[in-house]
Amino acid sequence: MSAMIPRPHALTAFVVVDFAKWVRAEPEEHHADLKRWFAAAAARPSTSA
């Protein structure tokens, strides 16, 4: 599955969505695919520091 291969744009998107929480700009309900993708990406061992 191509979603499992980290790409530069995917890493950038992950960081943007993660940092957006600091300004309380989380994805809305109609962004279901983005929320699903972010949850899957956040569950990867490589995203924990």
- Give the separation between CA 28 and CA 26, rounded to whole angstroms: 6
pLDDT given at position 16: 87
CA within 13 Å, CB half, 6: 14
The count of structural domains within the chain is 1
Query: Per the domain annotation, does 3 fall within a domain?
Result: yes
pLDDT given at position 18: 86
pLDDT tens profile 24-49: 888 889 999 989 988 998 898 887 76
Query: Per the domain annotation, does 15 fall within a domain?
Result: yes
Cα dihedral sign, 37-9-47-2: positive
DSSP H or E segment with residue 48: none
Categorize the per-residue pLDDT at 8 as very low, low, confident or very high, splitting at 50, 70 and 90: confident
Mean predicted confidence (pLDDT) in 3-24: 79
Q: Does residue 8 or residue 22 have the better pLDDT?
A: 22
Range of the domain at 17: 1-22+30-38
Query: Per the domain annotation, does 47 fall within a domain?
Result: no
- Give the separation between CA 49 and CA 43, rounded to whole angstroms: 12
pLDDT given at position 38: 87
